[in-house]
Structure 1
Amino acid sequence: MHAATFFDGEGWREGIVELIDGRMLLHDERPAPGTPRLDGVIIGGFTDHHVHLQLVDHTLLGRSTLGRVVDLGANPAVIAALAAARFVSVAGAPSLNERGVDDTDARSLSERSETKRAPHRVAIDFAGAFLTPVGGYPSDRDWAPAGSFREIADAETAHAAVTEMADAGASVIKVASNADAGPVFTDDLFRAIVDAASARGLPVVAHAQGAGEAQRVARLGATHLAHAPFTERLDDSEIAAQAASVVWVSTLSIHSMEHSARAVAVDNVRRFHAAGGTVLYGTDMGNGPTPVGLNPAELDALRDAGIDGDDLLRSLAPQDPRDPASVLLHLADVTATPSSARPLTPADLKV
């Protein structure tokens, strides 16, 4: 039994960590005087709020520092089966995506070293299929797996698609609104999707791309943007309106360092965060050779946007380490970068 400082999702607290029947468990209770103290601090498994598990070797996640992922576009039957099973990783397996690309080199040294550790369960939330207009994004993309999108022609098919995703176990509905890559929904049809989702208690997350799309989908009832706006710089009044009503998933590192979209997105996020908006860590995992685990490039981009320290940890929405189902991660101290986290082991509890 050791005294330990832990992050509860909002701030730092004191508790006790101990090894019981081979499991590391954290209790929310004040340590007694003289209790030996754990070196470092404890945090729960991190969350990636934008992944595509059909485009990566998802079995590697169980050896990462992620405890939860949100899949925002997949065949609902496939992703529902993964969510029901969660996953246990195969030690040392290469990260092969559906295009046959070995992603091993793209992973950080810390992520690669995690393949040697005991696997843990990963919680999966999902949207199921993209809902898109007839001929809309990503219906014409080679990377889109079979069954990963539904083309919506009217309110009736919108309601049917939302019902299908909800019945499959979706916790959110994903809507494509990419005016740069094809048609987008009319205001009325977008609202019909929002209404159908709301009737099932599901928020709508939108891929908003193209001039004015981020502002339009927010006005029509989307509660989350799958990507921080990168098409254009939002003015301060638009930032304020978004900060009051919409959550942004970051995905800043999908833009190359030299691309203007990255500078636009980072600037928007910096001002959105300063205005009190909620930014969630998300990587669009599967969009190129991304790490199957925590992405240091995304963390660096969030810091560039002024999100660091406890705010950065909050964007990662770590699991509650007091939950017995959570993986417990170890950090050197409260100022350590999340990319240095590793699973807590019995060896950390020194006599």
Structure 2
Amino acid sequence: MTDRPETGHAPVHAARYFDGAQVRVGTVVAGADGIRLLPTRAPDGSPHLDGLVTGLFTDHHVHLQLVDHTLLAGSRLGAVADLGAELGWISDLAAGAAVQNSGKNPATHPTTPETAPEPAVSPESWTQISYAGPFLTAVGGYPSDRDWAPAGAVRQLADPDDAARAVDDLTASGVSFLKVVGNSDAGPVLDDELMRALARLAAEHRVPLVAHAEGPGQAQRVARLGATRLAHAPFSEHLTDDEIAEQAATVSWISTMAIHEGEALEVVTDNVRRFFAAGGELVYGSDMGNGPTPVDLRGAEIDALRTAGIDGLDLLTALAPADPLLSAAPLLLLPDDDPNRSRLLTTADLEY
């Protein structure tokens, strides 16, 4: 006789798991209500789960209005930060409303019609969405002249009063960040007075100021004027070691390395390697929607981070996984501790 379920699945497995800070030993339990991770050790003799368990990952830079956002359900992403979309659209999506994407990036999403996720996808697998709303840019600045930018996804600021109205509107609408643009390679940029005003307003409203910095000197300029995070690891030029040290002390970077190639990729890889070695905070971001990016974890971005020397626990930390001990939370299994091989943990993984 045996008290094991007739399904052929062992109810308890010993498992290694990453809690966001370190690898620990716990227990994976399969029951009628799904799979749970417990922080206690499994009973002696329990089978061992082959791989590392953790929560769903975070992508800190996406543009959901340019992709088939319904594919997020059931993906390996538990949270995303949208850094440029029409405010009403993205706030509706974050609240769970059914919305259509803009269709302006055909290279990124298929031509099939928007559909709801398959009923088999549980509500818990829906990705949490935080957002900035529109790009805040100079009059005529990037990306106001780009065909891919959805209507309402760019707000052009002429002076500090304009900036104050914009920040009041956005923070009253529940944004989690402000996204400003300093792209001198593609047009006018917000002047120093406007950038300082936006930094002050962001601090007053207790929201991070995330800056797209592109062009010579722009990464240092936006950091000096009060940006708290760069939307892209700097790729326009090699920063000096002193500049890297200043950046590491004042701002965090979102990686977005795999959107580059050639010289820009070499530059961003060098900057990231030295920034991280200097103690800078680097988080994973794919710039989802910029070209043919997956609506999921992007393997090329993981590879780029590894090339820059970020691997192991450092890589897992940059991916900012959800707490795997949360009840009913979806779990990921990472064979050989490799994020690129990660997949949703299912009862099939618990077969004897």
**TM-score scaled by length of structure 2:** 0.89
Residue 330 of structure 1 aligns with which residue?
A: 333
Q: State which of 139, 155, 159 in structure 2 corresponds to 1:134.
A: 139
Residue 98 of structure 1 aligns with which residue?
A: 104
Which stretches of structure 1, 4 residues or longer, exceed 4 Å deviation after superposition?
none
Post-superposition Cα deviations, 1:3-54, rounded to whole Å, max 9, x if no partner, equal 2211011110122222344322222223343444323220111111110000
Residue 234 of structure 1 aligns with which residue?
A: 239
Deviation at 1:244, TM superposition (A): 1.1
Structure 2 distance, partners of 1:96, 1:8, is 37
- In the alignment, does 2:54 pair up with 1:43? yes
Q: SS where residue 185 of structure 1 aligns?
A: coil
Residue 279 of structure 2 aligns with which residue?
A: 276
Deviation at 1:199, TM superposition (A): 1.2
Residue 190 of structure 1 aligns with which residue?
A: 195
Structure 2 distance, partners of 1:136, 1:96, is 21
Deviation at 1:116, TM superposition (A): 12
Q: State which of 114, 117, 130 in structure 2 corresponds to 1:125.
A: 130
Residue 347 of structure 2 aligns with which residue?
A: 346
Q: SS where residue 38 of structure 1 aligns?
A: strand
**Any conservation in 2 of the 1:139–1:149 contact (CA below 8 Å)?**
yes
Residue 59 of structure 1 aligns with which residue?
A: 70
Structure 2 distance, partners of 1:311, 1:296, is 16
Deviation at 1:279, TM superposition (A): 1.1
Percent identity, aligned pairs only? 54
Residue 112 of structure 1 aligns with which residue?
A: none
Structure 2 distance, partners of 1:102, 1:289, is 4
Structure 1 distance, partners of 2:142, 2:58, is 26
**TM-score scaled by length of structure 1:** 0.89
Residue 163 of structure 1 aligns with which residue?
A: 168
Post-superposition Cα deviations, 1:301-345, rounded to whole Å, max 9, x if no partner, equal 111111111111111111111123632001123xx3201000010
Residue 10 of structure 1 aligns with which residue?
A: 21
Structure 1 distance, partners of 2:237, 2:174, is 34
Residue 306 of structure 2 aligns with which residue?
A: 303
Post-superposition Cα deviations, 1:135-175, rounded to whole Å, max 9, x if no partner, equal 11111111000111111111111111112221222111100
**Paired AA for residue 106 in structure 2:** G
Unpaired stretches in structure 1, ≥5 consecutive residues: 88-94, 105-114
Q: 1:51 to 1:322 in 2, by over 3 A?
A: same
Q: RMSD across aligned C-alpha pairs, in angstroms? A: 2.3
Q: SS where residue 339 of structure 1 aligns?
A: helix
**Any conservation in 2 of the 1:86–1:124 contact (CA below 8 Å)?**
no
Q: Which has the larger radius of gyration?
A: 2
Deviation at 1:129, TM superposition (A): 0.7
**Any conservation in 2 of the 1:173–1:205 contact (CA below 8 Å)?**
yes
**Number of residue-to-residue matches in the alignment:** 333
